[in-house]
Structure 1
Amino acid sequence: MTIDWRSKGFWSPDESRSPEQVAADRPSIFGGGFTWPLLVVRRSAVEANIATMAAFCSRHGLDFAPHAKTTMAPVLLKAQLGAGAWGMTVASPNQALVLRRLGIERVLIANEVLDPTALRWLAAETTAGWEVYIQVDSVAGVAAAGAAGGLVRVLVELGHADGRTGVRSLDELEAVARAAAVSPGVELAGLTGYEGQLHDQHEVDAFLDSLVEGFERLAKAGLLPERPIVSAGGSAWFDRVADRLGGLGARAQVILRSGASVTHDDGFYRERTPFVRVPDEGPLTAALEIWAQVLSAPEPGMAIVGMGKRDAPFDEGLPVPLGVRSPAGVGRAADGLHVSKLNDHHTYLVTEGADIEPGDLIRFGISHPCTAFDKWRDIPMVDEERRVVDVLHTYF
């Protein structure tokens, strides 16, 4: 891994450095070695979030396999494992391949896999000793896994109406489980579900209760192993997962998969984190910020900032102005500022009478970390003085 002219946000037109060399110098992001926009990760917030989620899972008897697709950054994945995570979750065989090459021993693919090429590789790696699981929600999916020519471990998936994958009834759940239980080359390891697309606590609890009912049904039918996996949990309802699935802990391995918690945010998850409902269990702290420069103030009440859709997530809310830094290095609050829209490389900043000048730096929080990391190849990790202490490399 090399920091050079290919690394967005780093200003290295004529030299190449390793992340270790950058971190050893502890450069300030304002010292001339960086340009704008620049995404940074605050180390103290990440460390606190990892510790918070590890403690939450420990208190509730849950294993943790955080979703790696949020960051795909080895430094952060290994920090989560170092804090006691059982394994990692991914969304695709390509992401599983990355984690295999990074040496991560246990991986849940929280998705169906029907590609014969990927399944043959997964079967071979499983046979060679890697612990990896896929989801199945159809007899066709079971048949594809069974044709892979080795061993494939599967979790039968329960879904819900208008959701993504997953069978829509317990009858279908049992039918797919029975197919997996008798298919050569397929090992039925448990069941799984995802509640993150549901709208309120009543819907979430009802769905999780159905997952428990499915567990009881498959257990009574003799289809599950001695200690099956039961997995669920996005980043918005993991308190309900602990409440509704926690009772299975004596008979099953309950695995939580929340991914966005590692960095949290200043938008979507700030409003939806379970720690709003159960504050004594938290909190999480926003760890991501983007620094971008005001390029123009072409009319009263509006400024144009050099940051856009190529740099910041916008699918679950627009960036949130948090602070202003003048060219002289003087900081102040972002009172009266909000973002109205983003183009590819420009942000429309409504100033509402605030004194914003070209050349000012705006510190933005983001909304939805899962679509932030994929826009950046190399990301400085900084201390509270915004000095670089490490560099994250992402694999998207």
Structure 2
Amino acid sequence: MNDEQLHRHLVGRQGSRRDLNTPVLVIDRDALDRNIARMADFAGANGLKLRPHAKTHKSADIARRQIAAGALGVCCAKLGEAEALADEGITGILITSPVVSAPAIERLIALNDRCEGLMCTADNPMAARAIAAAIAASGGPPLTVLVDIDPGIHRTGVADAQAAVALFRTIAAEPSLLYGGVQYYCGLQQHIESFAEREAAMRERAEYLRGVLDALEQAGGKPPIVTGGGTGTHRIDAALGLFTELQVGSYVFMDDQYRACALTGEEDEVPFETALMIDSRVISANSPGMVTLDAGFKSLATDAEPPTIAEGAAEGTAFFFMGDEQGALVNMAGNLPELDSIVTLRAPHCDPTVNLYDTYHVVSGNTLVDLWPVTARGRSR
């Protein structure tokens, strides 16, 4: 049975969260909406636009809420994500990873025909010319392309200011392409836990970006859009005076990785709430000091520390993975939840955790209020 069959009848029933089949991906709708509003208010107060990264949530329902709160559109890491969200009417999409193969370019051109405000990035003149040729052959509308600048990760992006200028000139020379500006996403800096250290790292990277922007302007390519930034650096990004829009993503959920970071520089200030959780259930309680949950590797991202416990277990209880299907709660003091108890876990890393599920179970308090599909789940190509 799928989630609709299992749980639709529980929507609106008081206290129905307790009756969900576990493990289950849960959104606190009220916390989610407060997070969306707070980031929108922050951007507006700092003269910045928002194009939140949908790779975090992969959800048309959440994208609509972000756009209703003032976002220009959303970012998508992959072409498949963009196609899935565009099918649900989402516009203003920026594809943040390069599109280079002939089959992918064909899909990109088809998407440009039906998605208002579509943009993509490129980091190689060969790829830009291939996209331009495909558009010219199809007779479709021009596509806006941003120059992706490598911030030092060496994952994607032009390697230096000279390469940025060369790519700008390639884009500007193609009648079927529109030069949109640049992308500069400093992923390595997002999770530096100390605000002061993160700020110092970003200011160093900002000086590099400033040099590239100066070179582009001197070549006649002053960027209309400078997009980048993230949840971890958003306060710093706003103060740099370089970005026109922010690609913040995880602020909507606040996973454990971001909860570990001082986001504001103010002691004990946490600007966003935990809105994404995994409800699990105690399925075995036969060993002293330990109980077994029904959530394991297949229910939670494993690229970070094990999840922390939000509700349902005493302080001092720790989670350990016990394989694909199970996890363990250990408390040597013996203060553990009973058989069939619900234990709520925070997502260790939200993006890959979300990609394990078909459906968000949206709650207000302890009542299930809606089911939202994870629209772009698995759309990684």
Q: Find the counterpart in structure 2 of residue 272 from structure 1.
A: 261
Distance 1:278 1:118, change over 3 A: farther
Partners of 2:345 and 2:290 in 1: CA distance: 16
Structure 1 gap ranges (5+): 249-253, 325-332
Spell out, residue by residue over 1:262-284, the C-alpha distance to the aligned partner (whole angstroms, 9 max, x if none): 1112x101012523x25798610
Q: Find the counterpart in structure 2 of residue 137 from structure 1.
A: 123
1:259 equivalent in alignment to 2:249: yes
User: Would the aligned equivalents of 1:294 and 1:360 in 2 still touch at CA under 8 Å?
Assistant: yes
Q: Say which SS state the counterpart of residue 292 (structure 1) adopts.
A: strand
Q: Within 5 A, what are the aligned runs for 1:168-317?
A: 168-198=159-189, 200-224=198-222, 228-244=224-240, 246=241, 254-265=244-255, 267-272=256-261, 274-275=263-264, 277-278=265-266, 283-317=271-305
Structural RMSD (CA): 2.3
**CA deviation after TM superposition for structure 1 residue 67, in Å:** 0.7
Q: Say which SS state the counterpart of residue 6 (structure 2) adopts.
A: coil
Amino acid at match of 2:352: T
Spell out, residue by residue over 1:189-237, the C-alpha distance to the aligned partner (whole angstroms, 9 max, x if none): 1011111213543232222232232222212211246xx1110112211
Q: Find the counterpart in structure 1 of residue 63 from structure 2.
A: 77
User: Would the aligned equivalents of 1:66 and 1:259 in 2 still touch at CA under 8 Å?
Assistant: yes
TM-score by length of 2: 0.88
Partners of 1:292 and 1:128 in 2: CA distance: 41
**CA deviation after TM superposition for structure 1 residue 170, in Å:** 1.3
Q: Find the counterpart in structure 2 of residue 330 from structure 1.
A: none
Amino acid at match of 1:295: I
TM-score by length of 1: 0.85
Partners of 1:103 and 1:346 in 2: CA distance: 38
**CA deviation after TM superposition for structure 1 residue 299, in Å:** 3.2
User: Would the aligned equivalents of 2:226 and 2:242 in 1 still touch at CA under 8 Å?
Assistant: no
User: Would the aligned equivalents of 1:65 and 1:258 in 2 still touch at CA under 8 Å?
Assistant: yes
Amino acid at match of 2:205: F
**CA deviation after TM superposition for structure 1 residue 41, in Å:** 0.7
Q: Find the counterpart in structure 2 of residue 251 from structure 1.
A: none
Q: Find the counterpart in structure 2 of residue 375 from structure 1.
A: 356
Q: Say which SS state the counterpart of residue 375 (structure 1) adopts.
A: coil
Q: Find the counterpart in structure 1 of residue 326 from structure 2.
A: 346
User: Would the aligned equivalents of 1:196 and 1:236 in 2 still touch at CA under 8 Å?
Assistant: no
Q: Within 5 A, what are the aligned runs for 1:43-82?
A: 43-82=29-68
Partners of 1:165 and 1:105 in 2: CA distance: 24
User: Would the aligned equivalents of 1:196 and 1:235 in 2 still touch at CA under 8 Å?
Assistant: no
User: Would the aligned equivalents of 2:60 and 2:90 in 1 still touch at CA under 8 Å?
Assistant: no
Q: Find the counterpart in structure 2 of residue 110 from structure 1.
A: 96
Q: After superposing the two structures, state which structure 1 stretch, 48-57 or 345-354, moved more.
A: 345-354
Partners of 1:129 and 1:352 in 2: CA distance: 56
Q: Say which SS state the counterpart of residue 68 (structure 1) adopts.
A: coil
**CA deviation after TM superposition for structure 1 residue 363, in Å:** 1.8
Distance 1:304 1:127, change over 3 A: closer
Distance 1:319 1:282, change over 3 A: closer
Amino acid at match of 1:270: R
Partners of 1:76 and 1:279 in 2: CA distance: 30
Q: Find the counterpart in structure 2 of residue 320 from structure 1.
A: 308
Partners of 2:14 and 2:101 in 1: CA distance: 45
Amino acid at match of 1:59: A
Distance 1:127 1:218, change over 3 A: farther
Q: Say which SS state the counterpart of residue 100 (structure 1) adopts.
A: helix
Q: After superposing the two structures, state which structure 1 stretch, 194-203 or 229-238, moved more.
A: 194-203
Distance 1:54 1:180, change over 3 A: same
Structure 2 gap ranges (5+): 193-197
